[in-house]
Amino acid sequence: MDNYLNSFREMIFLRGLTDHTLKNYCTYIRAYLDYLSTCLHKLPEDVSWPELRDYIKWLQNSRNLSDRTINCAISQLRFFTLYVLHKPWDDTQLPMRRFDEYLPFVPSKQEVSILIDSMPDLKQKAMVALMYSSGLRIGEVCHLRYEDIQRQNMRIHIRHGKNRSDRYAILSKRALDILTAYWFAFGKPVGWPFPKQHDSSKPIDTFYLSRHIHEAERSLGWEQRITCHSLRHAFGTHLYEDGVDLLTIKALLGHKSINSTTIYVHLASNGTSDAVSPFDLMGGGHAQ
What backbone torsions phi and psi does residue 202 show, to the nearest 5 degrees? -120, 155
**Does the active-site annotation cover 255?**
yes
Residue pair 211/140 in contact by the 8 Å Cβ criterion: no
In this model, does residue 286 exceed pLDDT 60?
no
Q: Which of 157, 162, 212, 214 is catalytic?
A: 162
Give the Cα separation of 226 and 207 in Å (integer).
14
**Does the active-site annotation cover 173?**
no
Q: Which of 125, 238, 250, 255 is catalytic?
A: 255
Domain 109-272, what fold? Answer: hpI Integrase; Chain A (1.10.443)
Domain ranges, ordered by start, for the chain: 2-83, 109-272
Closest CA to 237 of 132, 127, 137, 118: 132
pLDDT tens digits, 68-98: 889 999 999 999 999 999 999 999 999 998 8
pLDDT above 70 covers a percentage of the chain that reads 94
pLDDT-derived band at 288, boundaries 50, 70, 90: low
pLDDT tens digits, 141-168: 999 999 999 999 999 999 876 666 789 9
Give the Cα separation of 15 and 31 in Å (integer).
22
**Does the active-site annotation cover 232?**
yes
pLDDT tens digits, 24-61: 778 889 999 999 999 999 999 999 999 999 999 999 88
**Does the active-site annotation cover 214?**
no
* CATH class in words for 2-83: mainly alpha
What backbone torsions phi and psi does residue 26 show, to the nearest 5 degrees? -70, -20
**Does the active-site annotation cover 137?**
yes
Q: How many CA atoms lie within 13 A of 117 on its CB side?
A: 7
**Does the active-site annotation cover 266?**
no
